[in-house]
Amino acid sequence: MKEIEEKIKETIKKLFKENKIDIFIGYSEGTLPLRSTPCLITKPDDIEKLVWNSYCSNNLAVYLPRFFLPQQQKKDAKLPRIGILAKGCDSRSMVGLIKEHQIPRENIYIIGINCKGMIDIEKIQNTGFKMQEVEIVAVEEKGGKVLLEDEDNKKIELKKEELLADVCTSCQYNVPVIYDVLIGEEKRKTKEKERAAFIEEFEKKPLEERWKYFQEQVSKCIRCYACRQACPNCYCKECFAEQTKPKWIGVTDNISDIMFFHIGRIFHQAGRCVDCGACVRACPMGVDLRVFTYKLIKDVKEFFEYEAGISLEEAPPLATFKSDDRQEFITEP
Amino acid sequence: MENINNWEPKIVAFLCNWCSYAGADLAGVSRIQYPSNIRVIRVPCSGRVDPFYIIKALQNGIDGVLVSGCHPGDCHYISGNLIARRKFALLKSFLEYIGIEPGRVQFSWVSAAEGDRFAQIIEKVTREVKELGPINKMVKKI
């Protein structure tokens, strides 16, 4: 981890020196242990702030479209050149953004990283370590183990493998799909747990049970829209949730409105979601969003043989068609 | 409250201007009988139908939604219905996945010459929605 961090810093120093980038987006130390926070660097002096560890889970691609809004793309306007750190999932989000003309590829300098998976803090809590009651003062990572030290100098050793986020355990794209430089070896994971297994399990449940689960999950939602804000693919200038003409959803806490928001948001991600887990991490109420978002990933793959964020050439699935697309669902007399 | 015995479902039908709407017209001028439960909304093309229209209809207490367009290959705009087909395949599968009865949201192809087929489809959809009963999921209750 430390070696990679040094390598990242070295690369960025070089980039600033050669005047290849104006801004760099990476991670810096969070305010608490076990946290890293996104960080924008504009001066070479600030490079020392950057870190790379197992808590750099934010999808940084979310910060890109705002630099290239249409009003900034006027004639002769100088667009910033942005360097960015990319894990596998971040790079797939970037592919989506480039494909949808939200960011120009030539203005982005991608530093790819072979990601070993990010730790989900909630899983530390699930092991019985009461994070709310004791304060963690130090964290160390050594050979697949995470060592936590609390204020009473009590040490706890946990296996990193067991703490990885759900989206990371079955991740297949640990190496970025597109990059300008790669740090770490280019070795894709080959053995992969069946990612869609939990969807198949859910599909087998009876209809009413599925509805009950959807209702249960949705009723937790407080409509803070954090899932939308954290998602790199949600770049609409005006979201349907805030549109007033037509007014799709009322500004209420009525469960029907919340359902509309979630169905709408999830459906808008059809063929674009890369399963980075940003929405799940951002949710303050612990809504199980992935069981719904992944269903569309699975369907898109099954129906149209398309996977989001893999290639820059392939047309988005809902913007194209084949003459023999499935139509068993069509009602016949 | 409405009496369940003489309850009749409300069904919204989005019909494309060039085929299905003309098909419905033909059914009318040919005096073919079909249930009067549908409320027709004419749209330029089945590709014009945003999935939000369908969810919004359910939210407003519509018991069933039918979207009908030209047969594949016959679209007035060449490929509107083919793009719609992809969209609806995902929508139908997703709505069923979260627990909304599959019969509530239906899609069909009806050409301008198929007045008979139009009547049969309306009959079938009405029968299925009737069996499902009044919608209670998704409806906004104030």
Rounded to two decimals, the ipTM of the complex is: 0.94
Mean pLDDT over residues A180-195, rounded? 78
Taking 60 as the threshold, does the pLDDT of residue B45 lie above it? yes
Domain boundaries, chain A: 2-118+172-183, 121-163, 197-319
Confidence of residue B10 (pLDDT cuts 50, 70, 90): very high
Mutate one of A297, A321, A323 to test the B interface: name it (highest B CB count within 10 A): A321
Q: How far is A289 from chain B (nearest CA, A)?
A: 12
DSSP A251: S
Instruction: Decide: B9 and B37 in contact? Cβ < 8 Å.
Output: yes
B98 touches chain A (CB under 8 A): yes
Taking 60 as the threshold, does the pLDDT of residue A4 lie above it? yes
A204 touches chain B (CB under 8 A): no
Greater confidence, B43 or A166? Answer: B43
Residue A271 has φ and ψ, to the nearest 5°, of 80, 5
Q: Which of A211, A320, A327 sits opposite B98 (nearest CB)?
A: A211
Alpha-carbon span A286 to A185, nearest angstrom: 35
**pLDDT value of residue A144:** 81
Greater confidence, A294 or A143? Answer: A294
Mean pLDDT over residues B118-136, rounded? 95
Strand order from edge to edge, sheet including B105-109: B38-43, B11-16, B64-69, B105-109
A79-128 pLDDT, tens per residue?
Answer: 899 999 999 999 999 999 999 999 999 999 999 999 988 999 888 887 77
Mean pLDDT over residues B39-65, rounded? 96
B83 touches chain A (CB under 8 A): yes
Taking 80 as the threshold, does the pLDDT of residue A130 lie above it? no
Mutate one of B98, B108, B120 to test the A interface: name it (highest A CB count within 10 A): B98
Candidates A50, A4, A58, A56; CA nearest to A24 is A50
| Contacting residues for A242 by C-beta, under 8 A, at least 6 apart | none
Taking 80 as the threshold, does the pLDDT of residue B48 lie above it? yes
Q: Which of B94, B121, B139 sits opposite A331 (nearest CB)?
A: B121
Residue A302 structure tokens: 């099954």
Residue A57 structure tokens: 């889970």
Confidence of residue A259 (pLDDT cuts 50, 70, 90): very high
Residue A305 structure tokens: 């043989």
- Set of chain B residues whose Cβ sits within 8 Å of the Cβ of A303: 86, 89-90, 93
Taking 60 as the threshold, does the pLDDT of residue B1 lie above it? no
The fold of B11-132 is Rossmann fold (3.40.50)
Among residues of chain A, what percentage have pLDDT more than 70? 97
Residue A58 structure tokens: 């934010």
Of A54-68, A126-140, B11-25, B122-136, give the lowest mean pLDDT range. A126-140
Q: Which of B85, B94, B125 sits opposite A325 (nearest CB)?
A: B85
Alpha-carbon span A24 to A98, nearest angstrom: 18
| Ranges of H-type helices in chain A | 2-17, 88-99, 121-126, 160-163, 166-169, 197-204, 207-220, 226-230, 255-268, 278-282, 290-304
**pLDDT value of residue A69:** 86
**pLDDT value of residue A99:** 94
**pLDDT value of residue B92:** 96
Q: Which helix (H) or strand (E) holds B33?
A: none
Taking 70 as the threshold, does the pLDDT of residue A174 lie above it? yes
**pLDDT value of residue B2:** 55
**pLDDT value of residue A1:** 76
B66 strand-pairing partners: B13, B106
Among residues of chain A, what percentage have pLDDT more than 90? 68
Mean pLDDT over residues A146-168, rounded? 84
B140 touches chain A (CB under 8 A): yes
Mean residue pLDDT of chain A comes to 90
Mean residue pLDDT of chain B comes to 94
Q: Which of B91, B108, B142 sits opposite A330 (nearest CB)?
A: B108
3-state helix, strand, coil in chain A (%, to 5): 40, 15, 45
